[in-house]
Amino acid sequence: MSVYDAMAPSFDRRRTLPDGVPESIRAAILDVCGVDRPRILDLGAGAGRIGRPFVNANDDYTAIDLSFGMLHAFADRQSAARLVQADGARLPFPDACFDAVLLVQVLSGARGWRHLLTDAIRVLRPTGALIVGRVVAPDDGIDGRLKSRLAEILADRDIHPYRDKPRDDALSWLARTLPDCTTQTVATWTAQRTPNAFFERHGGGARFSVLPDHVRHAAMTQLADWARSVIGPLDAAHAEQHTFELTVHRLQQRTTP
What domains, with CATH codes, occur in the chain?
A: 3-137+164-192+239-250 (3.40.50.150)
Strand order in the sheet with 238-250: 82-85, 60-65, 39-43, 98-104, 124-136, 238-250, 181-193
> Within 10 A of 227 (CB to CB), how many other CB atoms are there?
22
Query: Mind listing the pLDDT tens digit of every residue in the chain (257 residues)?
Result: 455 555 555 566 667 899 999 999 999 999 999 899 999 999 999 999 999 999 999 999 999 999 999 999 999 999 999 999 999 999 999 999 999 999 998 887 777 899 999 999 999 999 999 999 999 999 999 999 999 999 999 999 999 988 778 888 899 999 999 999 999 999 999 999 999 999 988 887 778 888 999 999 999 999 999 999 999 999 999 999 999 999 999 987 554 44
Nearest in space to 102 (alpha carbons), one of 80, 135, 69, 129? 129
Work out the burial of residue 166: count CB atoms within 10 Å of its CB; fewer than 13 is exposed, 13-18 middle, 19 or more buried. Answer: middle
DSSP string, 181-192: EEEEEEEEEEEE
